[in-house]
Amino acid sequence: MNRIKEKTVLITGATSGIGKATALIFADNGANLFLTGRRKERLVELASQLTEKYGVHVQIFPFDVRDRNECKRCVDSINEPIDILINNAGLASGLDPIHTADFSDWDAMIDTNIKGLLSMTRYVSERMKKVNNGHIINIGSIAGHEAYPGGSVYCATKHAVKAITQAAKMDLSGTNVRVSSVSPGLVDTEFSEVRFHGNKQKAEQVYDNLKPLTGEDIAEIIYFVANRPEHVNILDTIVLPVAQSSATIVHRTDK
């Protein structure tokens, strides 16, 4: 059953990977979309592709979620109710140990993954509470359930996403607003290229000799979470490739 048709869905970080795949699956199911990300040209191209192929309404908002004023401007400029907010924009920056890591990497992750997500949630949840309807879906990670070496701050930001999801659900207790998170393991997107500051060779090694998840795999889970009946609130889902058993245990086959 499709409960998504004609719903309005705001997706942050729709220019690549999980966010873009999510935009596609929601458009395919008749949702009208508000898409964000910093790379405007990609948003323009995606919007025209979705409008043409699926006949849905798509509005784009090119901005940096680290800028709280821009988050407010985006939400304020949407006049219709926002049925679903998918807080997907995020990144890992670096994989350096605690004693040598770069402060600017830490700031980028904290400001995007925690503060950006909080800004969007703060502005949208206020509106959802007023109309007693809505669904906030946060993209967490296996890194929000476990830590790993070199991941002190990335893992901390994703642990924060888990805590924010749980606390938001409690804050909105008694309303019809749902709060969920989807927590993937290894997904082959631009994630590792961003983590290694554009080093494609290092990025490819992350997915070497294993079959990682794809953005589409996670988009399907996000769609499933959003498409439950209104009384069903999935709080979290951990989704791993079969070759991954924890944040650090990954089975790689010989070439």
Which residues bind to ligand NDP, rule: CB under 6 A? 12-19, 37-39, 64-66, 88-91, 112, 139, 141, 184, 186-187, 189-191, 194, 215
Q: Is residue 23 close enough to count as binding ligand 8X3 by CB under 6 A? A: no
* Residue with Cβ nearer ligand NDP (49 or 176): 49
Q: Which residues contact 165 (CB under 8 A, 6 or more apart)?
A: 138, 140, 179, 180, 181, 235, 236
Catalytic residue status for 158:
yes
* Residue with Cβ nearer ligand 8X3 (50 or 155): 155
User: In whole angstroms, what is the distance from residue 190 CA to residue 105 CA?
Assistant: 17
The site partner of 32 among ligand NDP, ligand 8X3, none (C-beta below 5 to 8 Å per kind) is none
Site residues for ligand 8X3, 166-195, by CB under 6 A, read: 185-186
Q: Is residue 114 close enough to count as binding ligand 8X3 by CB under 6 A? A: no
CB of 143 to ligand 8X3, least distance (A): 4
The site partner of 19 among ligand 8X3, ligand NDP, none (C-beta below 5 to 8 Å per kind) is ligand NDP
Task: Choose, from 7, 20, 158, 162, the residue flagged as catalytic.
Answer: 158
The site partner of 190 among ligand 8X3, ligand NDP, none (C-beta below 5 to 8 Å per kind) is ligand NDP
Q: Is 121 left (phi over 0), alpha (psi -120 to 50) or beta?
A: alpha
Catalytic residue status for 154:
yes
**Per DSSP, what are the bridge partners of residue 250?**
244
* Residue with Cβ nearer ligand 8X3 (84 or 143): 143
* Residue with Cβ nearer ligand 8X3 (198 or 229): 198
Q: Which residues contact 249 (CB under 8 A, 6 or more apart)?
A: none
SS3 131: helix
User: In whole angstroms, what is the distance from residue 71 CA to residue 102 CA?
Assistant: 26
Q: Is 19 left (phi over 0), alpha (psi -120 to 50) or beta?
A: alpha
C-alpha 107 chain-centroid distance: 19
Binding mask 117-146 for ligand 8X3 (x = CB under 6 A): ------------------------xxx---
Task: Choose, from 20, 123, 154, 223, the residue flagged as catalytic.
Answer: 154
C-alpha 3 chain-centroid distance: 21
CB of 173 to ligand NDP, least distance (A): 26
- The residues annotated as belonging to the active site are 154, 158
